[in-house]
């Protein structure tokens, strides 16, 4: 019997993870054909504003798939228009292939929430489910449970371990703005995106006003980080006015200090590689702390910020020896902005208004104590920063 796969999604943009998963699906489940179907309006995901048109997503998907006679790109959901409900798609595919076994592909999140889709039983009458899962043991037991539940209802469920290291489309859109997405895109897709100026690639991010910078930055942050960054901006401005640093530089550095924080360790390393940066051992082993370095690189290369702003971003997590006023401000503002809440934060706040250097020392000491307690490695820069302040006789009183 013919076996037809359905792989739907927003594909915004399509990336190497989608294509490898598609190829793997064809191979591992012996599909006669896999239909990749871009959704028109997804019921699961609202597309970000100024996303490409559905036709552009379709074009990109065609480029990404290239010549593969087992994979067909279908405009079925785009032609239908409106919200793309899977039960309708599956019914249409069933009409096209009345005698085939139809496999509907999905990731684990979608599978685990399958009950909440529209008309799930109708889907199961026409198709088997094929779930791509990752090797996470916690996840596997949940998936097995759910599989057994559906099978009891008479449905067929296939599991395939997804061997692909994936990137989310959201992170890919960030990487596009930072000009380091190429390794995640199939040949031709990157050029298409740049040619059409999609995902902000056609925008000039240099010389933005502070208000423009704020709106670009907040769109790139994870939503739960926005309040922190805006808090930092306000605090950094106040500290700059009080301690005689440039309030504009302070606000720009504060806005950009966590610009790459959303990227995981692997993406941090990719960014460094794409920017031609060689890393020391500490950074390679602790890629999560890299967001200060990668943030500073993005601030310079993408946003065209000046040396003072770039340096303040670079030292904001670890500190360093002999920091200037702006660097101290960004370090301390990050620690004490109004959304921060931890034992000792009030003392640090009071200190910051009277003695910025003492506040910096307090922040460094607290960080190092916490890292030691957690048995984590301490960055050589932090140790040097603290040693420098101790030698200078800085005291917290």
List of residues contacting Fe ion (CB under 5 A): 258, 334
Nearest-10 crossing angle of helices 226-243, 247-256: 160
Question: Considering the complex, what minimum distance in angstroms separates the CB of residue 228 from Fe ion?
Answer: 6
Closer residue to Fe ion in complex, CB, 214/334: 334
Nearest-10 crossing angle of helices 226-243, 345-354: 30
Question: Considering the complex, what minimum distance in angstroms separates the CB of residue 333 from Fe ion?
Answer: 9
Closer residue to Fe ion in complex, CB, 258/305: 258
Q: Could you give the CA distance from residue 116 to residue 103 in angstroms, rounded to a whole number? A: 19
Q: Could you give the CA distance from residue 191 to residue 270 in angstroms, rounded to a whole number? A: 19
3-state class percentages of the chain: helix first, strand second, coil last, to nearest 5: 55, 10, 35
Q: Could you give the CA distance from residue 261 to residue 204 in angstroms, rounded to a whole number? A: 22
Question: Considering the complex, what minimum distance in angstroms separates the CB of residue 318 from Fe ion?
Answer: 10
Question: Considering the complex, what minimum distance in angstroms separates the CB of residue 218 from Fe ion?
Answer: 14
Which residue's entry shows tokens 């692997």?
266
Closer residue to Fe ion in complex, CB, 305/334: 334
Q: Could you give the CA distance from residue 242 to residue 37 in angstroms, rounded to a whole number? A: 57
Closer residue to Fe ion in complex, CB, 199/331: 331
Question: Considering the complex, what minimum distance in angstroms separates the CB of residue 299 from Fe ion?
Answer: 13
Closer residue to Fe ion in complex, CB, 54/231: 231
Strand order in the sheet with 101-107: 71-73, 33-38, 3-9, 101-107, 128-133, 157-161
3-class SS of residue 3: strand
Radius of gyration for the alpha carbons in the chain, expressed in angstroms and rounded = 25
Say if residue 13 is preceded by a cis peptide, omega within 30 of 0: yes
Question: Considering the complex, what minimum distance in angstroms separates the CB of residue 254 from Fe ion?
Answer: 9
Question: Considering the complex, what minimum distance in angstroms separates the CB of residue 229 from Fe ion?
Answer: 7
Question: Considering the complex, what minimum distance in angstroms separates the CB of residue 378 from Fe ion?
Answer: 17
Question: Considering the complex, what minimum distance in angstroms separates the CB of residue 264 from Fe ion?
Answer: 14
CB 238 within 8 A of CB 232: no
Closer residue to Fe ion in complex, CB, 3/300: 300
Closer residue to Fe ion in complex, CB, 37/253: 253
DSSP 44: S
Q: Could you give the CA distance from residue 92 to residue 79 in angstroms, rounded to a whole number? A: 12
Residue among 350, 178, 169, 381 at smallest CA distance from 274: 178
Residue among 63, 98, 64, 93 at smallest CA distance from 76: 93
Closer residue to Fe ion in complex, CB, 77/334: 334
Closer residue to Fe ion in complex, CB, 193/293: 293
Residue ranges with strand state E in the chain = 3-9, 33-38, 71-73, 101-107, 128-133, 157-161
Q: Could you give the CA distance from residue 173 to residue 181 in angstroms, rounded to a whole number? A: 8
- The CA-CA-CA angle for residues 198, 202, 204, to 5°, reads 145
Question: Considering the complex, what minimum distance in angstroms separates the CB of residue 369 from Fe ion?
Answer: 19
Closer residue to Fe ion in complex, CB, 88/337: 337
């Amino acid at each position: 019997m013919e076996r037809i796969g359905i792989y739907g999604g927003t594909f915004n943009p399509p990336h190497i993870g989608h294509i490898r998963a598609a190829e793997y699906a064809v191979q591992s489940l012996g599909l006669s054909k896999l239909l990749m179907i871009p959704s028109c309006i997804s019921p699961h995901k609202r597309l970000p504003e100024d996303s490409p048109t559905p036709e552009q997503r379709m074009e990109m998907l065609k480029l990404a798939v290239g010549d593969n006679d087992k994979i067909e790109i279908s405009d079925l959901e785009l032609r239908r228009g409106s919200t793309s409900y899977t039960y309708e798609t599956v019914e249409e595919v069933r009409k096209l292939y009345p005698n085939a076994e139809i496999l509907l592909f999905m990731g684990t999140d979608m599978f685990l929430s399958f009950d909440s889709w529209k008309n799930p039983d109708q889907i199961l009458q026409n198709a088997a489910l094929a779930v791509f899962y990752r090797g996470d043991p916690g996840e596997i037991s949940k998936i097995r449970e759910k599989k057994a539940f559906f099978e009891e209802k008479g449905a067929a469920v296939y599991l395939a371990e997804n061997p692909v290291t994936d990137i989310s489309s959201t992170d890919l859109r960030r990487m596009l703005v930072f000009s380091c997405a190429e390794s995640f895109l199939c040949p031709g897709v990157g050029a298409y995106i740049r040619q059409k100026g999609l995902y902000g690639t056609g925008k000039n991010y240099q010389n933005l006003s502070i208000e423009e910078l704020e709106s670009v930055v907040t769109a790139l942050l994870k939503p739960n980080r926005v309040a922190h960054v805006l808090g930092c901006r306000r605090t950094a401005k106040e500290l700059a006015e009080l301690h005689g640093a440039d309030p504009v530089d302070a606000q720009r550095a504060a806005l950009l200090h966590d610009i790459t924080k959303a990227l995981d360790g692997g993406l941090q390393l990719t960014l460094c590689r794409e920017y031609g940066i060689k890393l020391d051992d500490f950074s390679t082993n602790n890629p999560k702390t890299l967001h200060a370095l990668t943030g500073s690189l993005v601030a310079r290369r993408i946003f065209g910020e000046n040396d003072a702003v770039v340096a303040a971003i670079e030292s904001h997590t670890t500190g360093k020896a002999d920091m200037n006023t702006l660097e101290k401000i960004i370090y301390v503002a990050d620690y004490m902005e109004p959304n921060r809440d931890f034992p000792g934060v009030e003392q640090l706040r009071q200190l910051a208004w009277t003695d910025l250097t003492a506040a910096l020392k307090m922040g460094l000491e607290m960080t190092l104590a916490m890292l030691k307690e957690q048995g984590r490695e301490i960055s050589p820069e932090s140790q040097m920063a603290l040693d420098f302040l101790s030698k200078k006789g800085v005291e917290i009183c």
